[in-house]
Amino acid sequence: MIRRSYPAGSASNLWSVVCRLSPSLTLTTGAGSIAVAVGPDRSSGHRALEISDLTVTYGPTAAVQGVSFSINEGEIFGLLGPNGAGKTSTLSAIEGLVKPGSGAIKVDGIDARARPGDARARIGVQLQSTSFQKELTIRELVRLYSGLYGASRSKSAADEHLAAVHLDEEAGKRFGQLSGGQQKRLALLIATVHDPPLVLLDEPTAGLDPQSRRQLWERIEHMRRSGRSVLLTTHSMEEAQSVCDRVAIIDHGKIVSLDTPAGLIAKHRDDPQVKRVARGEVTLEDVFIGLTGSELRD
């Protein structure tokens, strides 16, 4: 639950909040102030995302077939699968970019099909490949997107955000002047500048060197500690095994297994197809290949 307080009688401030945020509001008054509470109470056992029997089709092709999973508050959840397995279609349905054929999606307790605008406002998205307005400095970009999301557009707020991702000394540069790691950090910052409870990351560390990868994961870990939930896709099984609380393996549009990384290994270590590909102690990659096959996917 988001709470903001304003001096009693500050009608313009309160009205701006009402205009920007969900209509699901609770107003309380007391001792010369007005408190605004927005959205569900996430104090205990709250789920940032719930998906039930989701299907997505493109003409005769079923890209997602009856997918169900949930993500808890403060959880890093990995969605793993070969190319064409249904990962992107699942993310697109959560973002509201494609219309599901059937099933239910709830984001922070909001029915995404009934209230798509409110659901999208609770999501931050970082795509694998991102580009921004070339003529703006990164400080101007942060201020622009902060305003679009209803957050503070002040220079001091933008500089504070940039400092948090170690980009304050680059504030006057344009996006194309940044290194690959810096671009990824900026994209993550802009995706989360409105403090969404759910963050979707598509291959967040693809193409990064070890130093940039570690720095980005430190930022993601900080989001987890602050109570945000993260749904990510990655082709790095080692990364998923070390950073994800739980992992779902999807193939041919269906979830074939879901558990903690250690739980998946324990559950499938004796499967014949897993033992056939393992070279020594079974890893998450062995389980992944055992369940999805070793054939190349384009």
- Domains belonging to the chain, first-starting first, are 2-38 (no CATH), 47-258 (3.40.50.300)
* Strand 110-111, strand 61-72: pairing: unpaired
Answer whether residue 21 shows pLDDT above 50.
Answer: no
Residue-level length of the chain: 298
| Angle formed at CA 251 by CA 245 and CA 256, multiple of 5 degrees | 60
Q: How far apart are CA 208 and CA 222, in angstroms?
A: 19
Torsion sign across C-alpha atoms 248, 253, 254, 256: negative
Count CB neighbours of 219 within 10 A: 17
Count CB neighbours of 41 within 10 A: 10
Q: Write the pLDDT tens digit of every residue in 171-216.
A: 999 999 999 889 989 999 999 999 999 999 998 888 888 888 888 8
pLDDT at residue 209, as a whole number: 87
Q: How confident is the model at residue 12 (pLDDT cuts 50, 70, 90)?
A: very low
pLDDT at residue 111, as a whole number: 96
Q: Write the pLDDT tens digit of every residue in 123-161.
A: 999 887 777 888 899 999 999 999 988 888 999 999 999
Q: Which two tokens stand for residue 187?
A: 């994209």
Provide the CB-side half-sphere exposure for 85 (13 A, CA). Answer: 24
pLDDT at residue 28, as a whole number: 41
22: Cβ–Cβ under 8 A, 6 or more apart, which residues?
38, 39, 110, 115, 118, 121
| Type of residue at 227 | G
Lowest mean pLDDT among 27-36, 39-48, 75-84, 206-215: 27-36
Enter the pTM of the model. 0.81
Mean pLDDT of the chain: 85
Q: How confident is the model at residue 45 (pLDDT cuts 50, 70, 90)?
A: low
pLDDT at residue 298, as a whole number: 65
CA distances from 246 to 94, 219, 260 (A): 18, 19, 4
